Amino acid sequence: MTALRSSYMPLQRQPAHPRLGELISRFVRDSYPRDTAKHVARRWGVSATTAANVVKGHVSIPTLTKALAAEGWGFWDKIGAAVTGETYAQFEERALLTVIEKADHARSKLGEARARRAALDPELWLHPGS
C-alpha cells in the first residue's frame, strides 16, 4: 500500500507494517507448530480467514489488539525485541540511565549557576530575603 492509503481506508482497517506481520507469523508458527491457524482463531477470537492471514504474515491493527489481549505482555516483549533489537527491560534501563545522566548534568549546571551568582554579589547570596 502507498502512503495515501489513509485517504480511502479507515485507520482501524489498515494493515500493520509488513515486517511486524512477518514477526507475528513466525511467533504463532513457533507457538503452535500444528494447526496454527486453528489455534490462532480459537485463542485470539478471530475468524478462520483472519487466522489464516496471520499465519501468512498479514496482520491488521484490530488483530494486533486481539493478539495482545489473548497473548499478554510476553507476546509484545518477544515481538518488540525482534523489531527493536532490545528487550523491554533493556529499553527501560537505557531510558533510566538517560534520565540519571540528565539529572546529573542539571545538578552540575545548578552548582555552576550558584557559584556565578555568589561571585557577582556575595551579600545577596548569603542573605536572599534582604
Q: DSSP string covering 3-39, please?
A: GGGGGTS-GGGSBPPHHHHHHHHHHHHHH--SSHHHH
| One domain, residues 72 and 98 | no
| CATH number reported for the structural domain that contains residue 56 in this entry | 1.10.260
At a CB cut-off of 8 Å and minimum separation 6, what does 46 contact?
40, 54, 63, 66
Do 69 and 94 fall within a single domain?
no
Do 92 and 78 share a structural domain?
no
> Residue 8 has what pLDDT?
43
Which of the listed residues 66, 85, 104 is the one where a domain comes to its end? 85
3-state secondary structure of 102: helix
What pLDDT band is residue 17 in, cutting at 50, 70 and 90?
A: low
Instruction: Identify the domain containing residue 129 by its residue range.
Output: 86-130
The answer to the question of residue 97 being in a domain is: yes
Please write the tens of the pLDDT for every residue from 52-97: 999 999 888 889 889 989 988 888 888 888 878 888 889 999 999 9
Q: Which residues contact 61 (CB under 8 A, 6 or more apart)?
A: 11, 12, 13, 14, 15, 16
List all residues 6 or more positions away from 52 whose beta carbon is below 8 Å from its beta carbon: 37
| pLDDT score at 20 | 84
Whether the Cβ atoms of residue 64 and residue 50 lie closer than 8 Å to each other: no
> Residue 17: inside a domain, yes or no?
yes
Pick the more confident residue, 13 or 24. Answer: 24
Instruction: Confirm whether pTM is higher than 0.85.
Output: no
Q: 26-53: per-residue pLDDT in tens?
A: 889 998 999 999 999 999 999 999 999 9
Are residues 76 and 101 located together in one domain of the fold? no
